[in-house]
Amino acid sequence: MNLQRAFAVSILAFHVAAAFAQATPPAAPDDKAVPMAPIVVKASADASAEGLSPAYPGGQVARGGRAGILGTKDNLETPFSITAYTNELIQDKQARSVGDVLQNDPGVRIARGFGNFQEAYFIRGFILSSDDVAYNGLYSLLPRQYIATELFERVEVLRGATAFLGGASPGGDGIGGAINLLPKRAPNEPLNRVTLGFGDNSQYNVSADIARRFGPDGAMGVRINGAYRDGGTSIDDEHAELGLASIGLDWRSRDVRLSGDLGYQDNRLRQTRTNVSLGSGVTSVPGVPDAARNFAQPWSYSNEKDLFGTLRGEWDIARNVTLYGAYGLRRSEEANSLANITVDDGTTGASSVQRFDNTREDRVDTGEVGVRGKFRTGSVGHEWVVAASYFQGERDNAYAFDFFNSLPTNLYSPISHPQPAFSPATFYGNEISSPSLTGRTRLTSIAIGDTLSFLDNTLLATVGLRDQKLKVENFAYTTHAADPAYDDSRVSPAVGVVYRASKRLSLYANYIEGLTQGETAPSTAANLGEMLAPYVSKQKEVGVKYDAGRLGMSAAYFSTDKPRAIVDSSNTFTSNGEDRHQGLEFTLYGEAAPGLRVLGGATWLDAKQENTGSSATDGKRVIGVPRWQANFGIDWDIRAVEGLAVDARVVYTGSSFADGANTLEVPGWTRLDLGVRYLVEVQGKPVTLRARLDNATDKNYWASVGGFPGIGYLVVGAPRTFTLSGSVDF
């Protein structure tokens, strides 16, 4: 047993013994029965006694959010940067996906996953794929391509590495931060809400949100959501269809709290505009095509079906000691026929496409168990937690890639082709109609943490360790031969300090690590097939948070070093390289004046490649990461017309590079979004009408660069997009 594990075991023994020593309440002074207080039901997304963090004035964000295994924390009392966006914001901005919600976050930029239409997110300049988004605290349970907003109550963004707080993410992301989505729960009052919406090119949507509480004291809650969308988009000839249904249940007694969720989503895309790859001979970034133009092939499509669910529970086994557990699963099927465009001439836009079909099935099972509690040793308070987690994901894949059968097209004057039959030179992997196992990931971990409070709770110190084991198995296409399994482990520490200088002001600092699987040496290296030890990213952060009562703000400086693999002068594949991301963040939220809500901030990023082994890339900026990005939004009640409100949002993203040598610079952009809503009573029923105009000036721009490490493909931003909706509560 190494020193870190021995320390963890000794701390665990001390905390459990101390907690149970104080767990038995004192006897009543006489034999008279002590009257029991009624159960007070408070809707909670995660079956916890803490419940949801309350909304901050203005209603767009919450006062805090979940800090992994530490539970839900107030912003001023956690040494980490967390923003939780509320369902009120989701509705008022008519956000349809996680990416739409995060358009309001100055530290996040939306991109696309590699080779498909998957959402991906740059957090502090590091990529987080939608595969690694958490649902109610558990990774990889939601649809991995696109997550509709009807499924969740809150979007929580935790900035910074998270190996201790949530464990290593299955896809190897989570270095720059984590995203956690909270499911909906039945409120204390009955809810019946129907929404109808319309948009560009005959797109329409309908959704229903119904909730009830039952039983004594409303202890049992049921919430049902259903939605259907169909029609065109603001991009020519695109078609999107989505259907979903979900049910969320919760029940609580005095000492036990339970919740469960089950959801189904069917997302179908036809002729969706693709990513734009730049060929090896391209020496300049092509000009942006018309934002409404579609260069996708008419036969291309992408379909995904997902069934997913969670169970979560808590049991107060003694005073100030709570046992908790959770389990989640996902079963998914995907089928695609793609024809991504590759630009061969950046001036003329001459390009080519090849047919690429693939199918995929996913099976995910994951869970966690833990115990948390509180006690005091003299003047020092303790909030401790011990937890264990398990994740297993299996992936079945098959593909057919007709690489040598290129079809000509043009970025600016697209050429449509009939769907080509596969040529004799097509590369195949497994049977398209019956994909086979190609990957299995198993993650297990044990974590222990304690938040100590000193000086009447003005000084808080959090310490923790997580012992994480990573086992990754890959199986060859067609032959199904197993590669050597990646099997390694690492103990990840975390330390954080908060100083409450006043009721309104907190200063904080943290050191925390990220953990991802090391890479395998390629065939060109002298150490072919060698698996590198897990990559450990190291983050240091200091910051300040201020709550003025109705207006909140925060500022932080962070520095994160992430290892990267290089082939050194001796032709050995090694992890001596690194990406170093340093930055400053500022956020602002709340009510600047009665009826005037603000939300936004700015981020400065210095993301560089270090010790790459090549003078062409040493010291150059990381692909896809701008130096500056900023958001600012206002939401204003028009007092002259009761129930009327307008909003405006400006999104700015600076220039970035599409290649590691920084020879292909992609221009920055600024976008303006506008909205209006009107709340009126019709026959005694509240009706909310909303209209929105995103990209109001119809700007043509490259919305993102990359979305997969080391690859600099481009995505064209959507044109001016109009949406209109009406909701009625009855």
| DSSP, residue by residue, 511-567 | EEEEEEPPPB--TTSTTTTPBPPPEEEEEEEEEEEEE-SSEEEEEEEEEEEEEEEEE
**Is the CB of residue 441 less than 8 Å from the CB of residue 472?**
yes
Per-residue buried b or exposed e for 597-613, using 16+ beta carbons within 10 Å of the residue's own CB? bbbbbbbbbebbbbebb
CA dist., res. 56 & res. 86, Å (int):
10
What pLDDT shows up at residue 589?
98
What pLDDT shows up at residue 4?
46
Nearest by Cα to 119 from 550, 708, 512, 730: 708
CA dist., res. 78 & res. 554, Å (int):
12
| CA triple 48-249-88, angle to 5 deg | 75
Residue 610 in this model has a pLDDT that exceeds 60: yes
Write the pLDDT tens digit of every residue in 358-410.
999 999 999 999 999 999 999 999 999 999 999 999 999 999 999 999 999 99
State percent of the chain over pLDDT 70.
94
**Is the CB of residue 113 less than 8 Å from the CB of residue 207?**
no
CA dist., res. 653 & res. 669, Å (int):
5
What pLDDT shows up at residue 44?
62
Residue 43 in this model has a pLDDT that exceeds 60: no
Tell me the chain's radius of gyration from C-alpha atoms: 26
CA dist., res. 547 & res. 550, Å (int):
7
What pLDDT shows up at residue 380?
97
Residue 266 in this model has a pLDDT that exceeds 80: yes
What pLDDT shows up at residue 116?
79
Residue 239 CA, distance from chain mean position:
25
Residue 46 in this model has a pLDDT that exceeds 70: no
Task: Compute CA distances 544 → 84, 502, 550, whole Å.
Answer: 18, 12, 17
Residue 195 in this model has a pLDDT that exceeds 80: yes
Between 89-93, 114-118, 503-507, the lowest mean confidence (pLDDT) is in: 114-118
Q: How many helices (H) and strands (E) does the chain have?
A: 4, 41
Residue 36 in this model has a pLDDT that exceeds 80: no
Six token digits for residue 723: 């949406």
**Is the CB of residue 674 less than 8 Å from the CB of residue 690?**
no
What pLDDT shows up at residue 23?
41
**Is the CB of residue 242 less than 8 Å from the CB of residue 263?**
no
Residue 642 in this model has a pLDDT that exceeds 90: yes
Residue 666 in this model has a pLDDT that exceeds 60: yes
CA dist., res. 703 & res. 625, Å (int):
12
Nearest by Cα to 116 from 142, 145, 96, 141: 145
Between the ranges 50-54, 224-228, 475-479, 567-571, where is the mean pLDDT highest?
A: 224-228
Question: Rounded mean pLDDT of 449-471?
Answer: 97
Residue 565: what residue type? A
Nearest by Cα to 168 from 9, 390, 328: 390
Residue extents of the structural domains in the chain: 64-573+583-611+626-681+708-729
Write the pLDDT tens digit of every residue in 503-548.
999 999 999 999 988 888 887 888 887 888 889 999 999 999 999 9
Write the pLDDT tens digit of every residue in 205-230.
999 999 999 998 899 999 999 999 99
The count of C-alpha atoms lying within 13 angstroms of the C-alpha of 47, restricted to the half-sphere facing its C-beta, is 30
Question: Rounded mean pLDDT of 93-102?
Answer: 96
| CA triple 108-336-232, angle to 5 deg | 70
Higher pLDDT, 22 or 105: 105
According to CATH, what is the number of the domain 64-573+583-611+626-681+708-729? 2.40.170.20
Per DSSP, the three-state class of 587 is strand
Task: Compute CA distances 278 → 285, 571, 608, 638, 727, whole Å.
Answer: 8, 28, 22, 48, 44
Between 27-36, 562-571, 613-622, 647-656, the lowest mean confidence (pLDDT) is in: 27-36
What pLDDT shows up at residue 521?
82
Residue 693 in this model has a pLDDT that exceeds 90: yes
CA dist., res. 535 & res. 356, Å (int):
32
Per DSSP, the three-state class of 101 is helix
Write the pLDDT tens digit of every residue in 566-598.
888 788 888 888 899 999 999 999 999 999 999
What pLDDT shows up at residue 696?
98
Per DSSP, the three-state class of 179 is strand
What pLDDT shows up at residue 197?
97
- Phi then psi dihedrals of residue 433, to 5 deg: -75, -15
CA dist., res. 704 & res. 713, Å (int):
8
State percent of the chain over pLDDT 90.
84
Higher pLDDT, 522 or 412: 412
Residue 14 in this model has a pLDDT that exceeds 50: no
Six token digits for residue 531: 């698996």
What pLDDT shows up at residue 637?
97
CA dist., res. 385 & res. 463, Å (int):
11
**Average pLDDT score over the chain:** 92
- Phi then psi dihedrals of residue 626, to 5 deg: -80, 160
Task: Compute CA distances 499 → 77, 409, 455, 459, 579, whole Å.
Answer: 8, 60, 10, 5, 31
- Phi then psi dihedrals of residue 102, to 5 deg: -80, 0
Write the pLDDT tens digit of every residue in 299-356.
999 999 999 999 999 999 999 999 999 999 999 999 999 999 999 999 999 999 999 9
| Residue-wise DSSP of 267-307 | EEEESPPPPEEE-TT--SPPPPPPTT---S-TT-EEEEEEE
Write the pLDDT tens digit of every residue in 618-631.
999 999 999 999 99
Question: Rounded mean pLDDT of 668-697?
Answer: 97
Between 23-27, 69-73, 267-271, the lowest mean confidence (pLDDT) is in: 23-27
- pTM for this entry: 0.92
CA dist., res. 239 & res. 244, Å (int):
17
**Is the CB of residue 97 less than 8 Å from the CB of residue 110?**
no
**Is the CB of residue 430 less than 8 Å from the CB of residue 397?**
yes
Task: Compute CA distances 624 → 31, 256, 662, 712, whole Å.
Answer: 70, 47, 10, 7
Residue 699 in this model has a pLDDT that exceeds 50: yes
Nearest by Cα to 339 from 415, 286, 425: 415
**Is the CB of residue 283 less than 8 Å from the CB of residue 665?**
no
- Phi then psi dihedrals of residue 270, to 5 deg: -130, 135
Six token digits for residue 312: 């979560």
What pLDDT shows up at residue 58?
97
C-alpha torsion 178→628→704→183, nearest 10: 30
